[in-house]
Homo-oligomer: A and B are copies of this chain.
Amino acid sequence: MPRRKSLDHVVVPQAVMRRLPVYYRYLGALLARGTERVSSQELSRMIGITASQMRQDLSYFGSFGQQGYGYRVRDLHRAITEILGLHRTYQLVLVGVGNLGRALVSYPSFANRGFRFCGLFDNDPRLIGSEFCGLEIRPVDTLADFLHQCPVDIGVITAPPEVAQQIADVLVAGGVPAIWNFAPTSLKVPKGVIVEHTHISESLMVLSFRLNNPEEADTSVESASNQ
């Protein structure tokens, strides 16, 4: 019987947290293929980690398997969906409707999960007033007002680094609890506000480093860094 632990006073290590989406992705693929059961050995081999690590990771959240059998793909997939919070919906605003912003807004798998964009903001007069994906692009100086009327879970910053901090300040003042930042800059936010940086250019620099420093060790590295 799958049993989920309360997480109230358990601290989940960063490294574990970052592997959850990987489990989710592989389980989703197995589910789509109609596979019913999987052992920690099988799944971990596909992913390229040890079975120990996978079982240890899952143990932070509960017991989802069955001795002698393994895991029901469907059950484990659902468990991780809930652990990741992918069973609910989120309201998002996005500031900076450039190519990257448009890529995020139109990315179908975000909408297919519960990530709903409800406001787009930019300062370019050529964009303001036009529509993208059925949403009006509004001036950034109306963001504060917008946040008063419509509660938002996640603010996405795809604007230039020079204005990223100002935007973050407006989001925080407007009560947005989490910021997804693509600007290549750090953000100062009060304690309790969640910031997740996705620094695309840092990923390219790591690639460049690796090209110039042939490693003897294994060669495939997934991207996700932390501060």
A residues sitting closer than 8 Å to B (CB atoms) are 7, 11-12, 14, 17-22, 24-25, 47-48, 83-86, 90, 98-100, 102-104, 106-107, 109-110, 115, 153-154, 177-178, 180, 184-187, 189, 191-217, 219-227
Which listed residue, B99, B189, B197, touches A222 by the CB 8 Å rule? B197
CB atoms of B221 and A227 under 8 A apart: yes
| Residues A223 and B208 in contact in the complex (CB < 8 Å), given A100-B100, A216-B11 | no
Interchain nearest-CB distance for A75 vs B (Å)? 19
Note all chain B residues with C-beta closer than 8 A to A217: 11
Contacts of A100 in B (CB 8 A): 99-100, 103
- Count copies of this chain in the complex: 2
A118 to B12, CA, bound (A): 44
Chain A contact residues: over half helix, strand or loop, or mixed?
A: mixed
**For A198, what are the chain B residues with a Cβ–Cβ distance below 8 Å?**
198, 200, 203, 223
Q: Are B222 and A227 in contact (CB under 8 A)?
A: yes
Given the complex of chains A and B, what is the CA–CA distance between A201 and B108 in angstroms?
A: 11
Return chain B residues, CB-CB under 8 Å to A227. 22, 47-48, 220-222
Contact B206 A18 (CB under 8 A): yes
Instruction: Determine the distance from Cα of A14 to Cα of B104 in the docked complex, in whole angstroms.
Output: 28
Chain B residues near A194 (CB, 8 Å)? 207, 210-211, 219
The reply to whether B208 and A86 contact each other, CB–CB distance below 8 Å, is yes
Are B216 and A221 closer than 8 Å at their CB atoms?
no
Query: Complex: how many Å from CA A41 to CA B205?
Result: 25
